[in-house]
Amino acid sequence: MIPSAFEYHSPTSVEDALGLLGRFGDDAKLLAGGHSLIPLMKLRLAAPEHLIDLGRVQGLSYIRDEGGAIAIGAMTTHSAVAASELLRSRVAVLAEAAASIGDVQVRNRGTIGGSLAHADPGADLPGVMLALNAELVARGASGTRTIAAADFFTDLLSTALEPNEVLTEIRIPVLPANTGSTYLKFANQASGYAIVGIAAVVTVSGATVADARVGVSGVGETASRASGTEQALRGQPANADAVKRAAQQAADGIEPLGDIHASAEYRSHLVRVFAERALNTALGRAQGRG
Amino acid sequence: MQLTGTYTFKAPRDAVWQAMLDPENIRRCMPGCEEFKTTAEDQYEAVMKAGVGSIKGTFQGKIQLSERQPPSSYRMGVEGGGKPGRVKGSGVLTLTDQGGTTLVAYDGDAQVAGLIASVGQRLLGITARKLIEQFFKTMEKQIPATSA
């Protein structure tokens, strides 16, 4: 449980962090809350020579209402996200997902940006970002760019971030009126990782489903959208029967992982069951029923 | 740790067999291969620096091919070590002719020692599968008929 030797760097600004990244390139790794990276280092599955700790960088921890979007600093902890009144009232799916991560120690240290940049297949937040059409703001030596969540998660443990970029902010577009959302997962009992995690966002227009978005975490190598279910539900009557039918397609197009915790078949089954439950809850909220 | 999977080559079985057992091709297709030498017939020693995302390491090991059944199957044994610990395993690769394309199925078992086996398994298995997939993808490009 002792990591390989590494050089520790503790920049106090994003610019300094970028400078260090530029200097050490592939041998460096950014440290956010450390609740994914440190265990990997202790197992020696990761052995970066230079660790750049973002913990002392000022101004990366905030949750702000900016009108059209809610902006969240990348170093905001899961517990801060889970406790935010703004997020709980406006983007329940994100607050609920953050509240479900790991245990209290992990939530107090782990950060939204760290979790997203690590892109663990069992992480809760990637699927939530997809369902919310979130935007991820990255800063590099040559400036700032915004990456759509749909383009961000490229592969297993891999993102669209360049090696010399720092994820600084997550932007959640304001949800339309008459929208309800929730996050529901079947968790690994030991780690809390999602075996299946469903982020559901439903917008109703009268008695009809105007829009439905479903993000799936924990099932494939990366999070994905259950687009078949989304299409099947749009324009349908806003009731449990329509949800039940649409949820049957929730696992379509996903190549599920199979491991000692859950076989691929079991994961597919759980996706359908949890998609139905999550969509019903989100639909109920959209209709003002809790 | 069980490792199973398949990959479909868009090439006839004989060509796939020839490519997969060619040491030069193995060297070229091994992800992050830094050193590769032939120590005896069907025996190689290699150093690779490879990984996926945050998981990255340098591995050193011996590869042994055996039980050749041209052009349908052979066994590959791997024994080695790296920073995460020692790994020993072997698996059978089966090539099935599908009329123009070839299905390669691998079925192996790797013994991973120590803590990594229990705690690291969740990510280790999928990372290994990812690297195997990279190997096959690069291998497919080495086959002349499909590189056009």
Domain containing residue A211: CATH number: 3.30.390.50
* pLDDT in 10s for each residue of chain A, 290 residues: 789 899 999 999 999 999 999 999 888 999 999 999 998 898 888 889 999 999 999 999 999 999 999 999 999 999 999 999 999 999 999 999 999 999 999 999 999 999 999 999 999 999 999 999 999 999 999 899 999 999 999 999 999 999 899 999 999 999 999 999 999 999 998 889 999 999 999 999 999 999 999 999 999 999 999 999 999 999 999 999 999 999 999 999 999 988 888 999 999 999 999 999 999 999 999 999 76
Q: Are residues A184 and A276 in the same domain?
A: yes
CB contact under 8 A, A44 and B57: yes
Q: Are residues A104 and A18 in the same domain?
A: no
Residue A262 lies in a domain: yes
The encoded tokens of residue B80 equal 């080695």
Position B97 scores a pLDDT of: 95
Q: What angle do CA B141, B47, B22 make, to 5 degrees?
A: 40
**CB contact residues (below 8 A), chain B span 23-82, against chain A:** 51-57
Rounded to the nearest angstrom, the minimum Cα separation between A123 and chain B is 12
> Dihedrals φ, ψ of B82, to 5°?
-160, -170
The closest CB to that of B83, out of A1, A4, A260, belongs to A4
On chain A, the residues whose CB falls within 8 A of the CB of B120 are 43, 45
Residue A272 lies in a domain: yes
Name the residue in chain B with its Cα closest to that of A31.
B54
Residue A219 lies in a domain: yes
Instruction: Tell which phi-psi region holds residue B114, choosing left (phi > 0), alpha (psi between -120 and 50) or beta.
Output: left
Q: Which H or E run includes A194?
A: strand A194-205
Closest of A287, A243, A288, A248 to residue A271, by C-alpha: A248
Residue A58 lies in a domain: no
Which among A123, A148, A173 is the end of a domain? Answer: A173
Tally of domains within chain A: 3
Which among A173, A204, A230 is the end of a domain? Answer: A173
| Amino acid in position A56 | R
Confidence bin at B80 (pLDDT 50/70/90): confident
Expressed as residue numbers, the domain containing B98 is 2-147
On chain B, the residues whose CB falls within 8 A of the CB of A44 are 57, 83-85, 116
The residue to which tokens 């440190």 are assigned? A38
* Residue B99 touches chain A, beta carbons under 8 Å: no
ipTM of the shown complex = 0.74
Q: Are residues A145 and A222 in the same domain?
A: no
CB contact under 8 A, A156 and B115: no
On chain A, the residues whose CB falls within 8 A of the CB of B119 are 39, 43
* Residue A36 touches chain B, beta carbons under 8 Å: yes
The encoded tokens of residue B22 equal 């060619």
Q: Are residues A205 and A281 in the same domain?
A: yes
Closest of A283, A201, A274, A198 to residue A242, by C-alpha: A283
Q: Are residues A130 and A150 in the same domain?
A: yes
Q: Are residues A185 and A130 in the same domain?
A: no
Look up the CATH number of the domain holding residue B139: 3.30.530.20
Tally of domains within chain B: 1
Look up the CATH number of the domain holding residue A13: 3.30.43.10
Expressed as residue numbers, the domain containing A164 is 63-173
Residue A126 lies in a domain: yes
Closest of A216, A259, A244, A250 to residue A230, by C-alpha: A250
Which among A146, A173, A200 is the end of a domain? Answer: A173
